[in-house]
Structure 1
Amino acid sequence: MAELETTKRQRAARTLTAGQRYLIRNLAERAAEWVRAGRRDDLDGVAAILGCILRLVLLAAGAYGTWWLLRRWPAILWAAVPLWCWAAIRAIPDEDEESPAATESPEAQKEQLHALVRDLIGDRPGVHLSTLLAHLQKHGQGEGWEVADLRARLPRLGIPVRRSVKVKRRVAYGVHRDDLPQSSPAEGEQQAA
């Protein structure tokens, strides 16, 4: 029972962490857009970027003002922290919005994942989960995931995970070539074409 509670707490902590990443990224992107909008195309040189500089100064002043308020009245954190956590959880995109592949059938997604893992393995004995996760995130999938998330999801998709897979003299969690199920006939046809 205690293990189940720990797992729930760990999932909640991972959700909050991922939400904070999304929230910080969104806030940073919006601030950067706002600063870039201060540039004037009708002027040249320093005069063209004065608006950007002014907006950066305003952002810095706002950050300093927030820091000063929190140092002066730390009780504000009793309201600020729950609001931050609420905003972080709301910042997590829905699964439907996150991947356009959600409209594909689960079997098609499963086969694509199997093909991806085979491609990443190549002629090596396996692939580390960190490498697979980096590849997924590079292509806009699995944002906010950690290796533990991938380690939990892959077995449900029919891809067994080993605790120790040795690739390039490094041992870590990964998928070993021998554990992968044989490719489907449809995949064989696609590779032959």
Structure 2
Amino acid sequence: MGGTRDGGDQDLVRDARDRDGEGRARNARPRDGLGRPLPYGAQGVSRQPEGVVRTPEQTVAEAQELLDAGKPFHAHEVFEDAWKSGPEAERELWRGLAQLAVGLTHSARGNVTGGARLLRRGAGAVEQWAAESGERQPYGMDLAGVVGWARGLAGEVERGGGDGGVVDAGARAPRLRGR
């Protein structure tokens, strides 16, 4: 069922997509622990609710639990909520942490280029935010440790670390608050 540019069956394509009550696209397909879509009707992992406002401490704790459980895609959604709902001054911190979680997700999926790129981009964003804000351990997070973890994992992924370049997301999860 493909759409055409001249209108043709474009409405059919639009109607077949998952939409919320306001017409925004929402993919209702079940997903695995790394956020990959599964066929409709398959048993998936519960998704993180979107748009949840958490305290920064709750964000860090919930994201760490998800990272430790090997669910970096879901942790990224928690960081994304903080990025979108938090104070303007902290948005780059949370965005950078979300990028790190997505980088780990791609690395666990075997996407070497995307994983390494997002790990480095997130590390750069977190490092820059820390330098500009003067905060090295906001909400108890060890940002220097997280940046070092991300850059080290990016290099390992590029060198083919893990099982054919695939890393175990739970085993390689960062410790946001240090060890």
TM-score of the pair, normalised by structure 1: 0.22
Structure (1 or 2) with the larger CA radius of gyration: 1
Q: Given the two structures, how large is their TM-score scaled by the length of structure 2?
A: 0.23
Structure having the larger proportion of residues in helix: 1
